């Protein structure tokens, strides 16, 4: 006889019980965060993406008002769209890793949003274009992933309750 699960996370943890990845989520989260920081801080995003070249240029006195610039938004530029899609996917993955590690959707959501803001401010120190607009794109990716995860988890929970009756 199947037992009733109390919440969404119990349903997932029952499904993944004994899984190696349950113990490695903090490491995966750290490594993915490190990848995002490297990608955000490398001097030339184009060369990083297409030639896999990592180069840093540190400046000690960034202009924080650059976070407010919106004149460089160019949705007709193919590379710009690739970058923003990368923002959505990267922070969606980071949210999933935070969620699997912390097991609390709200905390995972907030911590991933804070990291998104941190990564944009950090870019200013590496001669990159940190923008609040990009934080919004990151949060869109996090929110989209949050909604997808909620839908998937609630369906797992409902399926387990139906099958246990």
DSSP letter for each residue of 20-50? GGGGTHHHHHHHHHHHHHHHHHSS-HHHHHH
pTM for the structure as a whole: 0.82
In a domain, residue 57? The reply is: no
State the average pLDDT over residues 61-78.
95
Domain that holds residue 127: 8-50+72-164
Split into its structural domains, the chain has a count of 1
Residue 155 pLDDT class (50, 70, 90 cuts): confident
How confident is the model over 104-125, as a mean pLDDT?
Answer: 96
Q: How far apart are CA 38 and CA 32, in angstroms?
A: 10
Tell me, what's the pLDDT at 153? Answer: 81
pLDDT of 52 over the 60 cut: yes
CA 159 – CA 165 distance, rounded (Å): 10
CA distances from 53 to 1, 21, 46, 143 (A): 56, 30, 9, 31
pLDDT at 1: 43
- What mean pLDDT comes out for the span 136-153? 94
Please report whether residue 140 resides in a domain: yes
How far the first Cα of the chain sits from its last, in Å, is 9
């Amino acid at each position: 006889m199947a037992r009733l699960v109390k919440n969404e996370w119990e349903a997932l943890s029952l499904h993944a019980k004994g899984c190696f990845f349950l113990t490695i989520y903090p490491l995966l989260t750290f490594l993915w965060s490190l990848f995002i920081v490297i990608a955000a801080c490398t001097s030339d995003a184009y060369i990083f993406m297409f030639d896999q070249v990592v180069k840093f240029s540190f400046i000690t006195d960034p202009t924080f008002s650059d976070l407010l610039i919106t004149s460089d938004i160019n949705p007709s530029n193919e590379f710009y769209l690739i970058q923003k899609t990368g923002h959505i996917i990267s922070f969606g993955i980071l949210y999933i890793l935070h969620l699997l590690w912390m097991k609390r959707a709200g905390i995972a959501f907030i911590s991933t949003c804070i990291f998104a803001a941190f990564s944009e401010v950090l870019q200013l120190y590496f001669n990159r274009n940190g923008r609040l607009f990009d934080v919004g794109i990151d949060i869109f990716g996090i929110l989209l992933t949050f909604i997808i995860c909620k839908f998937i988890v609630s369906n797992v929970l409902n399926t387990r309750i139906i099958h246990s009756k």
